[in-house]
Amino acid sequence: MNNQNRSFCLIAYDIADNQRRLKVSKILESYSNRVQESVFEGFLTRAELEKIFKRVEKIIEKQEDSLRVYFICEECRKKMILIGNGEVTHPPELIIL
Read off the pLDDT of residues 31-68 as tens digits, 9 standing for 90 and up: 999 999 999 999 999 999 999 999 999 999 999 999 99
Structural domain boundaries, residue 14: 3-78
Please tell me the total count of domains within the chain. Answer: 1
Q: Are 35 and 89 in contact (CB under 8 A)?
A: yes
Domain with residue 42: its CATH number is 3.30.70.240
Q: Are 13 and 38 in contact (CB under 8 A)?
A: yes
Instruction: Say if 24 falls within a structural domain.
Output: yes
Q: Which helix (H) or strand (E) holds 26?
A: helix 18-29
pLDDT tens, residue by residue, 73-85: 989 988 888 888 8
Euclidean distance between CA atoms 16 and 36, whole angstroms: 17
Q: What backbone phi and psi angles, to 5 degrees, belong to 16?
A: -75, -35
Instruction: Say if 90 falls within a structural domain.
Output: no
Q: What is the pLDDT of residue 29?
A: 97
Instruction: Say if 83 falls within a structural domain.
Output: no
Q: What is the pLDDT of residue 90?
A: 79
Q: What is the pLDDT of residue 50?
A: 97
pLDDT grade for 1, boundaries at 50, 70 and 90: very low
